[in-house]
Structure 1
Amino acid sequence: MTTARQGTSRQGTSRQGTFVNAVQLVTAREIQARLRSNAFIVSAAILILAVVASIVVAGIVGKATADDTTPVAVVDGVSLTSTRGLDVTQTSSVAQAERLVRSGDVDAAVVPSDDTLGYRVVGLDDVPTDVVSALSTTPRVDLLDPGALPAGLVSLIGIMFGVVFFASAVTFGSSIAQSVVEEKSTRVVEILMAAIPARALLAGKVLGNSLMAFAQIVAVAVAAAITLAVTGQDNMFSMLGPSVLWFVGFFAIGFVLIAAMFAASAVLVSRQEDVGSVTMPVMMLVMIPYILIVSAADNPTIVGIMSYVPFSAPIGMPMRIFLGTAQWWEPILSLLIVAVSVVVVVLVGARIYENALLRTGGRVKLAEALRG
């Protein structure tokens, strides 16, 4: 009896070791295939250059804007010794001047004050340094909405997160789908199945492409950090740091879900011409967060919902962290939701992949692949 148990244990350990070795081999093959692909190298380089260029352009535009005259409202009765660099709009009351600040017609307002200087500066969401530096002396500064961020900056950061997520997910997801169908159409999969289990083949594909996608995201983050430091945008670097780190973490887990769905959908067909039709639902799930973040990055309700939906959490939650609207526990809860969703999708996807991998010819119905 003891000998039989020992033999069974050794067989289980041997099968487990064989499975792990198979996954490692497929993972290495997928990584090598991506590194040998000129299309992958070019697309990764374009993505990194696009992010770097956007940061450089934003810095140049910001400096150019600082060189222009600054619109400012001045209440009647306030005497300024110098208005150089200011585009002055006279107002009859403090309330009128503050309305101009809130509407965005002027960057700041100079209103009467009881202190020795005789006036103070009113800003909206940030200290109007251009106005303060243009005055001969430094007045007291009051902010009407100190916690707010400029809408243009919020939209720009949202678009950057969306573009990086969308480009990486589509690039590697499409590569997985094409690889699966190519192996089926050329009957290579039959040779592979004779040597390794179907689940090991799927795990290796997902793991290899996930590692490459993660490496690309890290490269983009490092390039962005270096560019911000070189261009002197230290304040933006400190503001973006936590949200970028969370974005990388969310993407590392969330892409596994997307990769499994691309593989499970592509295995239903045997021709490259049919890949687009079966992967379209997955493509839409990747596109929807991108569209939402581009069109409504400054909408707290939409961003809040996105931060808990597994397909959009890698964009939504980092945006909320950047805006400072997320409690300390919310990113952890959202990440747990994404992780649980990954487990469920991988298990279902593995069943579909295993049942449909050797079926060639026409398109395999999803219900049949689930039933096996």
Structure 2
Amino acid sequence: MSTTGTRGSSGTLSDGQAIWLVAEREIGSKLRSKAFVISTAILFLGALALVIWAGFQASNSTGTPVAVTSDASQYVAGVEGLDVTDVSDRAEAEALVMSGEVDAAVVADSSSPLGFAVVAESDAPTQLLLQLSQLPPVELLAPAEVDAALGYVAAIGFGIVFLFAASMFGGTIAQSVVEEKQTRVVELLISAISVRALLAGKVIGNTILAMGQILILAAIAIVGLTVTDQTALLQGLGGPIAWFAVFFLFGFVLLASLFAAAASMVSRMEDIGSTTTPLTMLVMAPYFLVIFFNDNPLVLGIMSYVPFSAPVGMPMRIFLGQAQWWEPLVSLAILMATCVAAILVGARIYENSLLRMGARVKLSEALAG
């Protein structure tokens, strides 16, 4: 009897109905989990704090507050990064320093070889001393398009979101598969639906939840940058965030399929690590690479074409302005092809290992059936 369409006369579920029922079960169990809700709330709050902090850092144009006497004004003329308060004499300058209204004062001093001195309360601000030091003029032949600090913040943002979502939902899928095997629930499930429908439902359900988090995080980024009046930064991040969501979708489906397949090869919770550790390393690698090499075009270029790191590497290159218009399309095509291959391989492993209890199933046996 065909299982396509609606319920048949015997009450058999179609594949579409079975997949959606499993997906609903996965979504419902997650939303009822206090640990999931709390960790998600912490992620959202942390992301909002990071975006607002980055926005304020970018918009902070106020310099070091200093008091400057009239006879020392020529020494700070043209010095950038100072918030100058003009005073009439040294006594007034010292009063402002003691009151905390300024960090330091610049006053004329005939005994100094430079002609001026810096007056501070307990210690002189290092930044002020650097600003007043004599430096040669610098000419940049290829100035960076993005501020290094903002690039680092973007690297942390993309890396943490990918690491958190992929590892959390991947681990959840693995635990769910082993729990169903251990309690023999899986035998009841596959008596009503096909093994592939069960796998597809798990992957789709967790993908919906993961993408929901990504979209909310994107909204948080937009709100945070809007609140800090960073329209220029928002325009620069808009494209990379959109590409990140697209890459993450296919990257997560790839990883979710492999996590489910790897977990189906064992029958006990304590054995999950033996098959999922390599996948966990693949999830962690892009995070550390983008943190340590966020300013290295070669490493980012390689990352943007490797399927497991492309969801982090390519959006980062787009944000930094290093990617040509066609590169995201080529990288996405590679990722999608790898995703299809992973689904086919994962489904075969899952189907051949799901009902095998006891010792861990070898990969060669799972693939051979």
Question: What range describes the TM-score normalised by the shorter chain of this pair?
Answer: 0.7 to 0.9
Which residue, 296, 301, 305 being the options, matches 2:298?
301
Q: 1:149: Cα distance to partner? A: 2.4
Residue of structure 2 equivalent to 1:256: 253
Indicate whether 1:22 and 2:18 are aligned: yes
1:303-360 deviation per Cα after TM superposition (whole angstroms, max 9, x unaligned): 0000010000001110111111111111111111111101000000000000100011
What residue identity is the alignment partner of 1:350?
Answer: A
Residue of structure 2 equivalent to 1:278: 275
Give the Cα separation in 2 of the matches to 1:151 and 1:196.
53
Residue of structure 2 equivalent to 1:227: 224
Indicate whether 1:209 and 2:200 are aligned: no
Q: 1:17: Cα distance to partner? A: 7.1
Q: Contact 1:169–1:286 (CA<8 Å) still a contact in 2?
A: yes
Give the Cα separation in 1 of the matches to 2:60 and 2:351.
58
Quick one: structure 1 residues 106 and 333, their matched pair in 2 at CA, closer, same or farther if it must change by over 3 Å? farther
The two structures, once aligned, show a CA RMSD in angstroms of 2.9
Greater mean deviation of Cα atoms: 361-370 or 180-189: 361-370
1:215-238 deviation per Cα after TM superposition (whole angstroms, max 9, x unaligned): 100001101110110121222111
SS of corresponding position for 1:360: coil
Normalising by structure 2, we get a TM-score of: 0.78
Q: Contact 1:184–1:270 (CA<8 Å) still a contact in 2?
A: yes
Give the Cα separation in 1 of the matches to 2:81 and 2:187.
75
SS of corresponding position for 2:2: helix
SS of corresponding position for 1:353: helix
Residue of structure 1 equivalent to 2:89: none
Q: 1:65: Cα distance to partner? A: 6.2
Which residue, 344, 353, 357 being the options, matches 2:354?
357
Residue of structure 1 equivalent to 2:44: 48
Residue of structure 2 equivalent to 1:288: 285
Residue of structure 2 equivalent to 1:149: 146
Give the Cα separation in 1 of the matches to 2:65 and 2:325.
41
Residue of structure 1 equivalent to 2:368: 371
Quick one: structure 1 residues 235 and 364, their matched pair in 2 at CA, closer, same or farther if it must change by over 3 Å? same
Quick one: structure 1 residues 12 and 68, their matched pair in 2 at CA, closer, same or farther if it must change by over 3 Å? same
What residue identity is the alignment partner of 1:295?
Answer: F
Q: 1:64: Cα distance to partner? A: 5.3
What residue identity is the alignment partner of 1:283?
Answer: T
Indicate whether 1:326 and 2:323 are aligned: yes
Q: 1:261: Cα distance to partner? A: 0.8
What residue identity is the alignment partner of 2:2?
Answer: Q
What residue identity is the alignment partner of 1:31?
Answer: I
1:173-217 deviation per Cα after TM superposition (whole angstroms, max 9, x unaligned): 000000000000000000001111100000000011011100100
Gaps of 5+ in 2: 67-73, 83-105, 107-129
What residue identity is the alignment partner of 1:219?
Answer: I
Q: Contact 1:123–1:144 (CA<8 Å) still a contact in 2?
A: no
Give the Cα separation in 2 of the matches to 1:245 and 1:258.
20
Give the Cα separation in 1 of the matches to 2:366 and 2:214.
33
Residue of structure 1 equivalent to 2:116: none
1:14-40 deviation per Cα after TM superposition (whole angstroms, max 9, x unaligned): 599711111111111111111111111
Gaps of 5+ in 1: 1-9, 71-78, 89-104, 112-121, 125-142
SS of corresponding position for 2:308: coil
Q: Contact 2:244–2:311 (CA<8 Å) still a contact in 1?
A: yes
Q: 1:156: Cα distance to partner? A: 1.6
Give the Cα separation in 1 of the matches to 2:25 and 2:351.
20
Give the Cα separation in 1 of the matches to 2:294 and 2:178.
37
Indicate whether 1:162 and 2:162 are aligned: no
Q: Contact 1:308–1:334 (CA<8 Å) still a contact in 2?
A: yes
Q: 1:147: Cα distance to partner? A: 4.6
1:118-150 deviation per Cα after TM superposition (whole angstroms, max 9, x unaligned): xxxx876xxxxxxxxxxxxxxxxxx75445323
Give the Cα separation in 2 of the matches to 1:69 and 1:235.
27
Give the Cα separation in 2 of the matches to 1:40 and 1:162.
20
1:69-98 deviation per Cα after TM superposition (whole angstroms, max 9, x unaligned): 69xxxxxxxx8994576579xxxxxxxxxx
Residue of structure 1 equivalent to 2:85: none
Q: Contact 2:304–2:313 (CA<8 Å) still a contact in 1?
A: yes
Q: Contact 1:69–1:85 (CA<8 Å) still a contact in 2?
A: no
Paired residue total: 313
Q: Contact 2:4–2:15 (CA<8 Å) still a contact in 1?
A: no
